[in-house]
Structure 1
Amino acid sequence: MVRLSTAESQIEKELFNKSKYGNYYFSKPKNVQTRCNKSLANFTANMLVDETHKLLYCFVPKVGCTTWKKIFAILTNEKLRNETKGNPENIKLDPHSIRFKSMKDYNSSQREIILKSYFKFMFVREPFERLVSAYIDKFYVPELNGFWESWGRRIIKRYREKASAVSKACGHDVTFEEFLSHSLSKVQQADISGGNEHWTTMHQICNPCGIKYDYIGHVETMRRDTDVILHQANVSHLIVQDEASVSNIRQNLHISDEALIKSEKCLEPRDAVKRIINSLIYKGFLPNNFSIAEFTRNSMGNNSNMTNEEVAKLFNAKLDDILPRIWENKLKSSKSIKELNREHSLIRLQKSNISGQISSQIIKRFLKYFSLDFEAFGYDTKFYSNYMTK
């Protein structure tokens, strides 16, 4: 197998020089430890197990789990490893459809052995950024997994007094503040099943209070942390990491022809395209000044009778023209630690026209609910304090 692009000597240097980026191992300040003692030591289906290489990976939705499920699939399946030549980018099937062994499959004595002898790791993400990602991919852009029907209609019914008949029937236009109100409700906080795991806290899913993880990586430095984890777990020789192709980028951006076509009964074609473009602006694939009106005019003309299927074909043809250039520029910028210094997700959310001003009351509830995630994983809350005083 081809070795990772990061040289072994460089990885060794990172292991002993974490202060350059900050310590990404889980630490427990006294106030967090006090709260940890009250936490239940739950084992969830998100805690995946690789018996061959003695690994435990706890995945958190919207925290790079697509990438790491692909890696885990290669590690746990020798046939797939040979077929893909150890490259996660070569996996064609949906990694979320793969059945992995989890801690739920073991009895208490087996779990104890795993916790004592396996290399245990997880990844985390800035809590608000993670919620925004969940909202965009599950409620904002056209999607295939039924979140509009199963969750959207429920949220609109509960939080919107004068909802239109279309909104009640489709659940397609949940606002970000309505989504936050739902996510932060006490009813949802107790449940991490049936979709809720996309917006529940990271410590509820992976229980870092009850499980001593050997390494906790951050999405903000994911490539570097992935290299370190693979090296520490002694499996770096089995995985090849190439830069993602444009086709895989499209998959990760949740741009789906099928979803766009399916949304026809609820969204006008131009509105569906506008949502997708706004999401690309938020994610940094398109500039803030990108002209949606010009793009839709050039790709769809003045034809107002187009079906969503026709729109999907034209839209994707245009996207194929611009995505390679955009991706090339994004790759150049990501070679630095620019990801850590970009604008806060709340500001980008407003600039991309996905959401307006968020009330201080909602922000306070958010900070209270995710306080342990902020404290435990080293994320700062100062921005939110400043935001509420403006």
Structure 2
Amino acid sequence: MQLKNFIHVRSRGFVFGYVPKVACTNWKSIFRLLEGQPDPLNPRLAHDRQAGGLTYLDTLAPAQAQALLDDADVPKYGFVRNPYSRALSGYLNKVERFNHPEGQASEVHFRQVHAGIRQWHARRGREIDAVGFGEFLAFVEGAPQHPWAQDEHWLPQHQLIAPDRVHFDFIGRFERLQADAAELLQRMRCDAPFPTREAIRFPGSGTDEKVAQHYTPECAAAVRRIYARDFELLGYDPEDAPA
């Protein structure tokens, strides 16, 4: 469990465990709206821990943070995603685009991640010019303790929000985003609509349209191994692999 992935929305008295690549920009925008922050749909501010105006549990005293998680009167909410889809989304959004010249100009950190994965393979006798989905998964599985393999955009969800240790009152699913977001907004006493990608200026990675292009039986097997505990705890079927 990572306390930095839990947000206490003081105005409504609940705690939300967020998972990157599971509409977290949308949810943070909603929380900023509920907390009365200016320009709530600004995606940069949504992820700015200093200027965004949200209360992350790792910024509280450890005893206070744990008390919020343990208090049955404090509702706990979260959203999760099928590991097959989330792993590919993380790869497409943060790694794959650096295979192309037009993706080289921004985000120094993930450009370094891309180069580091190539170097990891080179040290094992395999020179690659581009990081394919299989090479990405091989790195995540083969170097699990490396800081880049533990990036929150593809770290197993149970390691972020610990559904086996935190009692969640509601966990929505990305695959039922429209219906589950509507129910959760009602629980949060929020009258605002769930932000669209256009509203938060988030283009998305087109994961659903690219599944067949990237998934091989070997990639599916790697995801089953890497995210075995997620499949178990979150109730997704590991045998329902992308075609």
Alignment TM-score, normalising by the size of structure 2: 0.81
Match of 2:65 among 86, 91, 111: 111
Q: Aligned with 1:188: secondary structure?
A: coil
Q: Distance in 1 between matches of 2:47 and 2:232?
A: 29
1:316-369 deviations in whole A, cap 9, x for unaligned?
xxxxxxxxxxxxxxxxxxxxxxxxxxxxxxxx4334xxx37352xx54443133
Letter in 1 for 2:239: K
Deviation at 1:230, TM superposition (A): 2.0
Within 5 Å, which residues of 2 pair with 1:1-390? 42-76=1-35, 78-80=36-38, 91-94=41-44, 95-97=46-48, 98-115=52-69, 116=71, 117-141=73-97, 142=103, 144-160=106-122, 161-163=125-127, 167=129, 173-188=130-145, 196-233=151-188, 235-237=189-191, 239-241=192-194, 244=196, 247-248=198-199, 251-253=201-203, 280=206, 282-284=207-209, 348-351=210-213, 355=214, 357-359=216-218, 363-384=220-241
Given residue 132 of structure 2, which amino acid in structure 1 is its aligned partner? T
Structure 1 residue ranges, 4+ long, deviating more than 6 angstroms after superposition = none
Q: Which has more radius of gyration?
A: 1
Q: Is the 8 A contact 1:138 1:147 kept in 2?
A: no
1:133 CA displacement: 0.4
Instruction: Tell me the distance in 1 between the aligned counterparts of 2:30 and 2:42.
Output: 13
Preserved CA contact (<8 Å) 1:177 1:358: no
> Shift of residue 194 of structure 1?
9.0
Over aligned residues, Cα RMSD in angstroms?
A: 2.8
Q: Distance in 1 between matches of 2:142 and 2:12?
A: 40
Q: Displacement of 1:215 after TM fit? A: 0.6
Report the Cα distance in structure 1 between the residues aligned to 2:178 and 2:163, rounded to whole angstroms.
22
Q: Following the alignment from structure 1 to structure 2, what is the Cα–Cα distance between the partners of residues 201 and 50?
A: 24
Work out whether residues 134 and 198 of structure 1, in 8 Å CA contact, stay in contact via their aligned partners in 2. Answer: yes
1:43 CA drift (Å)? 4.1
Distance 1:105 1:146, change over 3 A: same
Change (3 A) 1:110 1:69: same
Bigger RCO (CA 8 Å, 6+ sep): 2
Structure 1 residues 223 and 157: CA distance shift in structure 2, 3 A: same
Whole-Å separation in 1 of the counterparts to 2:215 and 2:193: 42
Kept in 1, the 8 Å contact 2:85–2:208? The answer is no
Q: Which amino acid aligns with 1:152?
A: H
Aligned length: 229
Would the alpha carbon gap of residues 381 and 195 (structure 1) be closer, same or farther in structure 2, given more than 3 Å must change?
A: closer
Q: Distance in 2 between matches of 1:136 and 1:93?
A: 19
Residue 44 of structure 1, CA deviation: 2.1
CA distance in 1 between partners of 2:150 and 2:177 (Å): 24
Contact 2:181–2:194 under 8 Å retained in 1: no
After superposition, the C-alpha distances for 1:189-217 in whole angstroms (9 at most, x for unaligned) are 7x5x7971111100000111211111100
**Distance 1:137-1:232 versus aligned 2 partners, 3 A rule:** same
8 Å CA contact 1:182–1:188 kept in 2: the answer is no
Q: For structure 1, which runs of at least 5 residues remain unmatched after alignment?
A: 1-41, 168-172, 255-278, 285-347
* Normalised TM-score (structure 1): 0.53
**Conserved 8 A contact 1:197-1:205:** yes
